[in-house]
Chain A
Amino acid sequence: MILPDSKGHFGKFGGKYVPETLMAALADLEAAYKKYGVNKNFQAELDRYLRDYAGRPTPLYFAERLSEHYGAKIYLKREDLCHTGAHKINNTIGQALLAKRMNKTRIIAETGAGQHGVATATVAALFGMECHVYMGEEDTIRQAPNVLRMKLLGAEVIPVTSGSRTLKDAMNEAIRDWVTNVENTFYIIGSVAGPHPYPAMVRDFQMVIGKETKEQIQKQEGKNPDYIVACVGGGSNAIGIFYPFLNTKTILIGVEPAGFGLETGKHGAPLARGDVGVLHGSMSYVIQDEFGQIKEAHSISAGLDYPGVGPEHSYFKEKGLVEYVAVTDDEALRAFEFLSKKEGIISALESAHAIAYLERLAPKASGKVVVVNLSGRGDKDLETVAKILGVDS
């Protein structure tokens, strides 16, 4: 059965838990996506932008020194080489093309690390649309270079000062903007989260990662990989690379941020340590107290610092289709340094979580083919990392 069902549910997860004002807009979006998702002109235009503008296909790089170190055949799917430096652009091009067809002139987005904000500001510039990006105040500080990029691209960056001042609150504020300006505004959600049809639509736009990987690994290894590893915040890069390999023999591993450690409660790992709840329009695993109040997440990586996760990941967890693990801030930092020195690739702190898991995977993956989704590059994180590691510039 193809999920979600007609009401946007993945089993009990997903759905549309939103104010009534948005129900009509979600129905319009769903109708437009249904129509253009299969429309040849739309797909051709999307493919052209992905190829000529975003730089797809991205390479599947055989990481020789990493492989030697770990005793497995390790490939990196180089989403960090996409235009704007992360996989996020795959989705923003798709949604902006939809917005154009729906005659929406104003774009809004939420952003954590700023990668999705930059990717949204980029397409808004490309298509000549007005753009407003909501970003938690704390994130505007720790990801300052991305704030500057968004401004240069012509977007207005609105610092959000409510709640934990991070991604969760930015998303609340974006939804409130949408409720208010629903007539002319298209909300580009950056992950496989939010109300239906976003989780399915964003997944479909990100699936290009997995489709390419499938072809590329066939060419290089003549078979599917034994393992695919990807980090999971909201979970869009993970679902994008996992999806074409669901129900194959490939073992899919999603890596959540354990922050200071799962046992400390300071983490961003709802699949490992959360409960079922409703946040940002869908039912999924969330980090919350016994009364359903959403708790602050913690991760060194702003893009993973989110107390929720895309509803389809919750479904995968329940069905045992994907294995979910968690690595700490420290492990991610070590992997960040290690990859820089071993392969000459400075990855995003988000993606460093996936790299970090190789330490634990390697002992059981000797000689196996492992693909890691390197979802983004690390320029934005240099200051954060330098502060912690005490590296002088």
Chain B
Amino acid sequence: MSRIEHKFKELKARDKKALIPYITGGYPTLDACEKLIELFAANGADIVEIGIPYSDPLADGPTIQRASEAVLSSGVDVEDIFKMVANLRKKTDIPLVFMTYYNVIYCYGEKKFAEKAISIGIDGVIVPDLPPEEAASWCKVATVNSLDTIFLVAPTSDDERIEKIVSASSGFIYCVSLTGVTGARDNLPMELSSFMRRVRSQTDKPLAVGFGISSTEVAKKVSKLADGIIIGSALIDLIEDSGIEYDKIGKFIRDIKKTIGG
């Protein structure tokens, strides 16, 4: 059982939901990013998603675009992020997931990327522009290296596609809450609960909802429909606005964790 599966199983046994914060790797700096991830872990995060920035992040809204651009223009590359994760892994057991676009993996070499990721302590990888149709070779090397392959399912996915996606996924399934890009929203669509029922009817694997979750209120509603929630842009907005006030950020994580029944 992977570290991610184990985490969800353990939470489920206690009737708890997973809190999965996202941060762009190297944002706002490599050191601060490492500290923030430790802070997330210390304040109740269950899994942390680390973005490897890509120059053309199609699935991301302005917040994560800005963070990615900032990291890339500071000269941080994928090797730096690998080093940061390797360091981090010495200090925490929390499951860690990479989120990056396919070109980053393709150019590094799928096999080399998978081997590197597992060796530094990464547990799974999310690739938002890689649907299962294009993922055969990636899934093969990821599986050989015991990395979870976390695919995304969207409200526009029909039942046939949902079946394909849930069967290709391991660790958990990333349920995109809305038709759109990442970014904090005030509300999520009404159809979210029927969408989640459609996904649930096809799998027993853990379901985590991401995109648009901005506040404790939204987090609370969404957590009732899923096994976990993912918060990215709202957190990055907070880091941007607060000028990295660790106390404030730690409290935000604690508050969310509390409201989702963590």
Contacts and interface: CB of A to CB of B under 8 A. Distances in A.
Contacts of A180: 179-181
B58 A21 contact: no
B134 A292 contact: no
Interface in B137-160: 151-158
B157 A16 contact: no
A21 B107 contact: no
B245 interface: no
A176 B107 contact: no
A86 B61 CA distance: 33
A277 B107 CA distance: 7
Interface string B73-85: 0000110000000
A365 interface: no
A293 B55 contact: yes
A176 B56 contact: no
Contacts of A162: 65, 69
Contact of B107 (A20, A183, A292): A292
A163 B104 contact: no
A17 B107 CA distance: 15
Nearest to A292: B107
Contact of A294 (B56, B61, B77): B56
Contact of A19 (B104, B128, B158, B165): B128
Given A19-B128, A24-B157, A179 B181 contact: yes
In this complex, the member of B54, B56, B65, B130 whose beta carbon has the largest number of chain A beta carbons within 10 angstroms is B56
Nearest to B211: A21
Interface residues of A, number: 39
Given A179-B59, A293-B54, A18 B181 contact: no
Interface string B158-187: 100100010000000000100111000000
A22 B130 CA distance: 12
Contacts of B86: none
Interface string A278-295: 111101001010111111
A176 B103 contact: no
Instruction: Please classify the interface of chain B as helix (H, G, I), strand (E, B), loop, or mixed, using the class held by over half of its residues.
Output: loop
Interface string A68-106: 000000000000000000000000000000000000000
B15 interface: no
B70 to A, nearest CB: 12
A2 B72 CA distance: 41
B129 interface: yes
B58 A7 contact: no
Nearest to B53: A293
B65 A19 contact: no
A163 B69 contact: yes
B179 A179 contact: yes
Contact of B77 (A18, A25, A163, A291): A291
B152 A19 contact: yes
B262 interface: no
Contacts of B106: 276-278, 283, 292
Contacts of A19: 58-59, 128-129, 152, 154, 176
A21 B105 CA distance: 21
B246 interface: no
B154 A21 contact: yes
A175 B58 contact: yes
Given A19-B152, A172-B58, A179 B157 contact: no
B56 A279 contact: yes
Given A278-B103, A288-B103, A182 B108 contact: no
A278 B180 contact: no
B250 interface: no
A80 B158 CA distance: 44
Contact of A17 (B129, B157, B181): B129
A172 B64 CA distance: 14
6 contacts: A22-B156, A23-B156, A162-B65, A175-B58, A176-B58, A292-B104
Given A15-B134, A280-B56, 19 more contacts: A7-B133, A17-B129, A19-B176, A23-B131, A23-B133, A23-B156, A23-B161, A24-B154, A24-B158, A176-B181, A179-B59, A179-B179, A179-B181, A181-B179, A182-B156, A277-B106, A281-B129, A288-B107, A292-B105
Interface of A: 7, 15-25, 162-163, 168, 172, 175-176, 179-183, 275-281, 283, 286, 288, 290-295
